[in-house]
Structure 1
Amino acid sequence: MAASASSGPSRYLREEDRIHIADRLRENASIRQIAAELGRSPSTVSREIRRNGALWRGKDWVYRPHAAHRRAEQRRPRPKPGKIGENPELRDFIQHHLERRWSPEQICQALTARFPDRPEMHLTHETIYQALYVQGRGELRRELTKALRTGRTMRRPHRQSYKRLPRNIRDMVMISERPAEAADRAVPGHWEGDLIIGKGGKSAIATLVERSTRYVMLAHLPGEHNAAATRDALVTTVRTLPPHLRRSRTWDQGSEMAAHKTFTLATDMPVYFCDPGSPWQRGSNENTNGLLRQYFAKGTDLSVHTREHLDAVAAELNGRPRKTLSWQTPAQRLSKLLNAMA
């Protein structure tokens, strides 16, 4: 039997769709058959029967299409006030933490921890995204989207990562030879690194992320970021670490790492190289570089930032709670590990 409507399914079930469901149920058609005839998901049909049908003597579902349609229409008055818009305390808490560049997921976790016995202060991170991006809701200031990691005013789907060709760097030691303790993040002292590049490729910041704690360190390259300049900046940064936190460094095959052997001689810290086109092998660093773009936007001159500003940015990132650390901060996790090792 064909569905009564020929114009294709709308977002909501129509009355004629509900009549079709009722007719086919009387003919003992399966949920999947009815869904296929309507061009809907089986879960849509099943949910419709549960929500808008009625239990007969507490056992069997009785589905009356016209009554079901009235029930559905009564539940659909728009616009409905959102949870954030109805609760000024909740809205102010979210906006305050967005201004501090916390992610929606971090904010939701903080709400649960701060107000454990107040369900009206609990929500999902998707609710925050909806309040920011859905036009007309007005629950959060639209300009706060600039404080999100992407800084976008519209949501976009993920795209495939750009795959680079391998570089000719002599004497590379590949990531497959990196110690197992680095791969499972069991021991602190293994770092991932990369460069974020400024306007016209004329300035850069080297980023280092410790794999076990996600602790961040930044090295400034206001001028050249060739192999020698990158090596010298990283040597200066790494030498501030105690020896037991200098176990390894993982980098991609960028030409700025051509002097990796002299870096290792100066720091006693071996360098391992990722496979070409495999950014997930430095996942913590890729994630951190995305966070850093909140502070150092693409297409801007990175040479204007002072050493003090870089230190402040690193401190702010190291003070943010992370889901992957059970909502501890990188600074807290590193401090605990250092105390345990001591």
Structure 2
Amino acid sequence: MELPMSSSRLDLSERYRLHALYETGMSMRAIADVLARAPSTISRELCRNQHAARYRPDHAQRISEHRRAQASRRPRIDAERIRQIEVLLREDFSPEQIAGRTGLASHAWIYRHIYADQKRGGQLFMHLRKRRRKRRRRDMRDGRGQLTHRRSWTQRPSVVEQRSRIGDWELETIRASHGKGVVVSMTERRSRLHLLA
């Protein structure tokens, strides 16, 4: 039975184990498997808590504790701050501008507040410069550009196979290895005219 992977903070003993495994040259994914942690947790730990381009468990622990203490000291966002933020949003300031210039709240908190307001039927989201894009789950395939009623070449009529008439085209799409570019190859069956687009 597989253990569920945790993404919570690492404790000091886990940091020492992480350090030992990382020094042997083990990959982050393999370390994550050994520690029963999400690979993103290991990656984030190594990126955020390095000192002088090296990962040191004791230093990482101090940084983590300091970060946690700072977070608990942040003032809670009271009703007056929320009112000020909403006024600025209605004046079409972006969450980044409000966070940067006033320090009332982080831009991430402001976005969460806007979307919570939208779910309650509010209109704050109308003042955003860009509308929120729907996030697709990773396992969903992108259906854009897919032909729904396409016919396989094995089902084409025999007259096309004979190449006796002009006007029967064969089309293929060629996708780049990283999915960034696409080429369409078109071949006229009788004349063998070949076009690329």
Q: Normalised by the shorter chain, which TM-score bucket?
A: 0.3 to 0.5
Q: TM-score, length-normalised on structure 2?
A: 0.45
TM-score if structure 1 supplies the norm length?
Answer: 0.29
